[in-house]
Amino acid sequence: MTPNVRDVLQGVTVALATPPSADHGMAYTMSRVGMVTMLATLAAAESDRAARDAIAENAAIRALFAGAGAFDADGALAAAAKEVDADLSVPALDAANARLRRQLIGLHEKVEAADNAAMNRQIVALYGKMASIRRMALGGG
Position 63 scores a pLDDT of 97
- Averaged pLDDT, 101-122: 97
CA distance 134 to 130: 6
What secondary structure letter does DSSP report for 68?
-
pLDDT at 141 over 80: no
Distance of CA 56 to the CA centre of its chain: 11
- Averaged pLDDT, 33-51: 86
Give the contacts of 120 (CB within 8 A, at least 6 positions apart): 108, 111, 112
Q: Residue ranges per domain, the chain?
A: 5-140
Position 2 scores a pLDDT of 67
For 2-13, the pLDDT digits (tens) are 678 888 888 888
Residue 63 identity (one-letter amino acid): A
CA distance 1 to 110: 25
